[in-house]
Amino acid sequence: ATMAEEAKKLAAYAAVDNHVQNNQAVGVGSGSTIVYAVDRLAARVRQEKLNIVCVPTSFQARQLILQHSLALSDLDRHPQLDVAIDGADEVDADLTLIKGGGGCLTHEKIVASCAKHFIVIADYSRKDSKVLGQQWKKGVPIEVIPMAYVPVCRTIVRRFGGEAHLRMAVSKAGPVVTDNSNFLLDWKFDGAQNWREVNAAIKMIPGVVDTGLFVDMAERAYFGMEDGSVQVRDPAVA
Ligand SMILES: O=C(CO)[C@H](O)[C@H](O)COP(=O)(O)O
């Protein structure tokens, strides 16, 4: 495996080993890093005969849970989760996140909001930043109702600057369609922002479903490092 893949695995294993216990309901994130967390969950369930249920954050996460024969649940049956583990596209010094590179931000935010502990896993490359936008250049993903994408784009750029573009599909003509049958905008912002305010303001624009800004949600981040160690980041105490 490449160095970055090894690092993803280190972070994922550390999160599962430190935060998952018997008799828990666990939120399962989306992306390429979470694959290692589900591998580890499945191994621990087998070895330790853990009794846990998993709530997915996407179609992909649901497939992972089913492929590993883990117990699949949902927020109807488990509206309170003990822990949720997910990847991120960028993490800043305060543990504010950009998520949604994989387009699953709305379900991810709902599941994270239902968890007592929300734990982020990432590799050292391109994600561990002092401020958002330092390394992640694709902008903030924003899920929108399809008919509103043009006015939402214009409102965001008028009020907050930068550029916003409809995310286009790669192996299909036309836009990316989310698990919720919506569209995605990627807002490339200029410079520093007050993320708490910007997140709240964008959410209030009619047609916006949610943003990929996760403010005051993550309790801890694990970064798998190049040298095989795992770095832990907790939010600075205000
Ligand atoms: O927010 C996400 C999907 O909506 C993912 O968690 C994020 O894109 C990280 O993915 P990866 O682990 O593949 O880098």
Asked whether 103 lines ligand 1 (CB < 6 A), one says yes
Q: What is the pLDDT of residues 99-124, one digit of tens each?
A: 999 999 999 999 999 999 999 999 99
CATH superfamily of domain region 140-211? ACT domain (3.30.70.260)
What is the Cα–Cα distance from 29 to 58, expressed in whole angstroms? 7
**Mutational pocket test of ligand 1: of 36, 99, 136, the residue with most ligand atoms within 8 Å of the beta carbon:** 99
The full set of domain ranges for the chain reads 3-129+215-225, 140-211
Q: What is the pLDDT of residues 180-197, one digit of tens each?
A: 999 999 999 998 899 999
Give the pTM. 0.97
Q: Are 144 and 150 in contact (CB under 8 A)?
A: no
CA of 88 to the centre of ligand 1 (A): 5
Asked whether 104 lines ligand 1 (CB < 6 A), one says yes
Point out the residues that are catalytic. Answer: 108
How many Cα atoms within 13 Å fall on the side-chain side of residue 164? 24
Cα angle 186, 106, 157; round to 5: 30
CA of 207 to the centre of ligand 1 (A): 23
CA of 127 to the centre of ligand 1 (A): 11
* Ligand 1 atom with the shortest distance to the CA of 101: 8
CA of 49 to the centre of ligand 1 (A): 29
Q: What is the pLDDT of residues 1-40, one digit of tens each?
A: 798 999 999 999 999 999 999 999 999 999 999 999 999 9
How many Cα atoms within 13 Å fall on the side-chain side of residue 34? 28
* ipTM of this complex: 0.97
Q: Do 3-129+215-225 and 140-211 show the same overall fold?
A: no
State the pLDDT at residue 136: 97
* Ligand 1 atom with the shortest distance to the CA of 86: 6
Q: What is the pLDDT of residues 128-183, one digit of tens each?
A: 999 999 999 999 999 999 999 999 999 999 999 999 999 999 999 999 999 999 99
Q: What is the pLDDT of residues 31-74, one digit of tens each?
A: 999 999 999 999 999 999 999 999 999 999 999 999 999 999 99
Fold of 3-129+215-225: Rossmann fold (3.40.50)
DSSP state of 20: -
Residue 43: count of CB within 10 angstroms of its CB = 13
